[in-house]
Amino acid sequence: MKTRTTVALLLASLACHAETPQQIRQTYATEAAGQQAGFTPSAKRGEAFFRQRFANNDKMPGCFSCHTDNPLNAGQHAVTGKNIRPLAVASNAERFSDPAKVEKWFGRNCKEVVGRACTPAEKADFVAYMSEVR
Ligand code: HEC
């Protein structure tokens, strides 16, 4: 039931797309709290996740493989060499403003790098870090 409510909320937010990073973080945090009572997003955990090296993938072991060690900087795709604009909101005001885009890239990059979907808690922490890093 709770999951269904969250999915409905998420779909509603997908339909009207423009949101703030805070709203997007809140959607994931609410979903995470449904699985883990008292969950609060942590930029510190988000940073640790960003820096984590996942063993399953030599070519792109972590988020930093394309987004660099510093999310305030522009990145470069590890495979195609294409430029990637900074992930941090402080450097790129367009980040975490379109829930559909955020979901699409969490989906793609988590699967590729982590080898599974990211949890709502991981997403909330990640958005917290990208919103707060200066
Ligand atoms: C293989 C290269 C690559 C890796 C590794 C990678 N990303 Fe990305 N990421 C991209 C590209 C390409 C885009 C889309 C282009 C853009 O938005 O600049 C993107 C965009 C995103 C976005 C969209 C943000 C927004 O609001 O615009 C999120 C979220 C994201 N990545 C999260 C992650 C996470 C989490 C990891 C690690 C688990 C990760 N990425 C690892 C290439 C990568």
pLDDT tens digits along 79-94: 999 999 999 999 999 9
Residue type, 52: Q
Ligand 1: centre distance to CA 94 (Å): 13
Task: Specify the length of the chain in residues.
Answer: 134
Ligand 1 neighbours by CB, cut-off 6 Å: 60, 63, 65-67, 77-79, 84-85, 95-96, 101-102, 105-106, 109-110, 113-114, 126
**96 Cβ contact partners less than 8 Å away, ≥ 6 residues apart:** 20, 21, 24, 25, 89, 102, 127, 130, 131
Q: How many CA atoms lie within 13 A of 127 on its CB side?
A: 29
**First vs last C-alpha separation in the chain:** 38
**pLDDT, tens digit, for every residue of 18-68?**
899 999 999 999 999 999 999 999 999 999 999 999 987 788 999 999 999
